[in-house]
Amino acid sequence: MTRWNAPAVYNLVGARPVEELGWAASVEASLQGDRLQVSGWALSSQGEVPGLWLCLGEERMAVALEHPSPDVAQVYPAQPWAARCRFSVALPLPQGEDCQDPLTVMVHGQPLAGAPGMHLATLICSVAANAGRKVFVVGSPRSGTTAVGNAIRGALGLPNYGEAHLLPVLHGLIEALDRLWETPSVREAGANVSNLVAHVPPEEIRSRLGTLFRQMYRHLHAGQSFCDKTPGVPMLRALPLAQVVWPDARFIFCHRRGVENVASRLRKFGAEGDFQGHCQDWSMAMRVWLESSALLSPGSWLQVEQRELALAPDTVAQRLAQHLQLEPDQHQRLAEYLRHQRPEQTALQAEQHPVGLQDLGWPPEQVDTFRSLCGEMMQRYGYLEDARYSL
């Protein structure tokens, strides 16, 4: 049975004086078992008891305003039909594995034949948990994301796109939407209910964008399950949004001591990136994870340390299997991969015998830069500068 979240209701007209807009209304909604109970009241200044339409996509349902409403009559004593303008209707909620996207309900009022109607409210009811497994593997580059991502894809038999970098696009679109909605021109237009934009809450656009990206992930992975491996700060910033789009997603943060991470970046990228930039990027990734993980639901995320991945792959496999609720055969495939196929990993000897910051041969000015940019996050994660590695 599909589980749904409590509906969000956006009353676009609200209980303002009926003479001001030609309409006054209030809409509420709640979950009642496998049904969405929509109720409220509506008044029109057009002359008679108005009718109501509920719109679910292209489907329209007529609703009668016929229930007693003495509370509304007290507020609008001059309106003779105010004493009987309430409605209540139960809508069956879709069920089954195909139910992945939010249900949007539009409430429209229509007073008389040929008279102008009004969009009164929008309801958005989202799915609490989708079918399949949704896994996001994130972290600073050079921290083990490739090994963990490939191991999970192999264990679950999922397509391997290397790196995704798609969710930051959605995050950027929503940030741009929020900025646009705060511009004077849109705010001014949205304050006038005779304008179409006033009847489109930004939350509805966010919901529909989320639906679009869910559908793209399903199509690109040929099913409900996926493992998105995307290292870097933009993806880390987008994680709270990922949980909104996929409420049952699981997150795995791969991390590594800054000393080894920056040294690994220098070996791989060489002159492609400057030393200061590598330090800033590692520090920012570690900081943003702390900020984003605080917004994720408890139990939805797991941290994996690169050194533990190299020295104790079976332990890491056990933790990942529990976090992702893998079947025994999937757990076995995961462990086998982590034992024998660990791409982009520094020599095992380096993990077994870590060196200190002063032993890397970096010039004094680079050591000072590292301490200035990475020192705070080194301390926050319990990392040490010397060969002891961590507390």
Which residues, in sequence order, are CB contacts of 221 under 8 Å at separation 6+?
158, 159
Q: Crossing angle, helix 313-324 and helix 145-156, to 10 degrees?
A: 60
Estimate to the nearest angstrom the gap between the alpha carbon of 99 and the chain centroid. Answer: 18
Q: What is the pLDDT of residues 351-381, one digit of tens each?
A: 777 889 999 999 999 999 999 999 999 999 9
- The answer to whether the CB of 107 falls within 8 A of the CB of 10 is no
Q: Most distant CA pair in the chain: distance in Å?
A: 87
> What is the assigned CATH class of domain 8-125?
mainly beta
Kind of pairing between the strands at 59-63 and 51-56: antiparallel
End-to-end CA distance of the chain: 47
Residue that has been written with the tokens 């830069």 in this structure: 369
Cα separation values, 103 from 12, 66, 88, 255, Å: 18, 26, 18, 38
- The answer to whether the CB of 261 falls within 8 A of the CB of 143 is yes
Choice between 95 and 234, residue whose per-residue pLDDT is larger: 234
Taking 80 as the threshold, does the pLDDT of residue 247 lie above it?
yes
Indicate the SS3 state at residue 41.
strand
Question: What's the pLDDT band for 115 if we cut at 50, 70, 90?
Answer: low
- The answer to whether the CB of 43 falls within 8 A of the CB of 86 is no
3-25 average pLDDT score? 80
Indicate the SS3 state at residue 31.
strand
Q: What is the pLDDT of residues 301-342, one digit of tens each?
A: 999 999 999 999 999 999 999 999 999 999 999 999 999 875
283-309 average pLDDT score? 97
261-284 average pLDDT score? 88
238-257 average pLDDT score? 97
Residue 358's nearest CA partner among 345, 371, 372, 348 is 371
Domain coordinates in residue numbering, the chain: 8-125, 134-380
- pLDDT at residue 111, as a whole number: 61
Backbone CA torsion sign across 311, 313, 318, 321:
positive
Q: What is the pLDDT of residues 175-186, one digit of tens each?
A: 999 999 999 999
Q: What is the mean pLDDT of the chain?
A: 90
Question: What's the pLDDT band for 271 if we cut at 50, 70, 90?
Answer: low
Taking 80 as the threshold, does the pLDDT of residue 15 lie above it?
no
- pLDDT at residue 112, as a whole number: 54
Which residues, in sequence order, are CB contacts of 361 under 8 Å at separation 6+?
none
DSSP 309-361: HHH-HHHHHHHHHHHHT--HHHHHHHHHHHHH--TT---HHHHHS---GGGS-
Identify the bridge partners of residue 305 per DSSP, sorted by sequence position: 255
- Please tell us whether the domain made up of 134-380 is placed in CATH 3.40.50.300: yes
- The answer to whether the CB of 132 falls within 8 A of the CB of 224 is yes
- The answer to whether the CB of 120 falls within 8 A of the CB of 108 is yes
Choice between 30 and 99, residue whose per-residue pLDDT is larger: 30
Q: How far apart are CA 332 and CA 370, in angstroms?
A: 40
Amino acid at 312: A
